[in-house]
Homo-oligomer: A and B are copies of this chain.
Amino acid sequence: MTDRPIDVLDKAKGKKVMIKLKNGEEVTGTLKALDLHLNLWLEEAEVSKSDVKIRLGNILVRGDTIVYASPV
């Protein structure tokens, strides 16, 4: 309960997360690394917008483009 929000996300490392971006896209992938700016490194990532889905493999998501992140 006294964890910081980012600590809770840190515990999701190795698990699949869904990231909502400010440009409306959604990224899903396995969370491998994160930093205090909320920059994320995902593996086996897919990006989707409307009904289009694109496989990207490894991806660095810039923290300031994130609206929310949720373990799937």
Contacts and interface: CB of A to CB of B under 8 A. Distances in A.
Given A5-B35, A35-B5, A65 B65 contact: no
Nearest to A55: B70
Contact of A58 (B8, B38, B45, B58): B8
A57 to B, nearest CB: 6
Given A1-B33, A8-B33, A41-B5, A60 B69 contact: yes
Given A5-B33, A38-B62, 18 more contacts: A1-B14, A1-B32, A1-B33, A3-B33, A4-B35, A5-B41, A5-B60, A18-B56, A21-B67, A22-B22, A23-B24, A58-B71, A62-B63, A62-B67, A62-B68, A62-B69, A64-B64, A65-B68
